[in-house]
Amino acid sequence: MKTVLITGASGYLGSNLVEYFSSRYDLIKVARKKNEKGILAVDLANEASVADLSRQHNPDFILHAAGIKAQACEKNPELARVNVSASELLTMHFPSTKIYFFSTDFIFDGKRGDYTEIDPSNPLTIYGRSKLAAESFYDLERHCIIRTAGLFNLNQPGFLNYVFSQLSQEKPIEAFTDVYSTPTYLPYLCKTLDDMIELGVAGLFHIAGSERVSRFEFAKLVAREFSYDENLIHGIEAPESFLNPRDSSLDSSKIKDLLNLKWKSISSALEEMHNKKSSL
Ligand X SMILES: NC(=O)c1ccc[n+]([C@@H]2O[C@H](COP(=O)([O-])OP(=O)(O)OC[C@H]3O[C@@H](n4cnc5c(N)ncnc54)[C@H](OP(=O)(O)O)[C@@H]3O)[C@@H](O)[C@H]2O)c1
Q: Which of 5, 11, 90, 189 forms a contact with ligand X (CB under 6 A)?
A: 11
Stretch that binds ligand X, among 63-71, 88-96, 114-122, 269-277 (CB under 6 A): 63-71
Nearer to ligand X by C-beta: 33 or 171?
33
CB 82 within 8 A of CB 149: no
Nearer to ligand X by C-beta: 159 or 228?
159
Give min distance, CB of 103 to ligand X, in A.
Answer: 7
8 touches ligand X (CB under 6 A): yes
Burial-class residue 193 by CB neighbours within 10 Å (0-12, 13-18, 19+).
Answer: buried
Nearest alpha-carbon partner for 138 in 82, 194, 205: 205
Quick note: the x/- pattern for ligand X over 149-168, rule CB under 6 A, is: xxx-----------------
Stretch that binds ligand X, among 114-122, 147-155, 162-170, 215-223 (CB under 6 A): 147-155
* DSSP string over 136-195: TT--TTT-EEEEE-SEE-TT-SSHHHHHHHHHHTT--EEEESS-EE--EEHHHHHHHHHH
Give min distance, CB of 67 to ligand X, in A.
Answer: 2
Query: What is the size of the binding site for ligand X (CB under 6 A)?
Result: 28
Nearer to ligand X by C-beta: 8 or 123?
8
CB 208 within 8 A of CB 182: yes
**Separation of alpha carbons 142 and 90, rounded Å:** 14
Give min distance, CB of 35 to ligand X, in A.
Answer: 7
Give min distance, CB of 229 to ligand X, in A.
Answer: 26
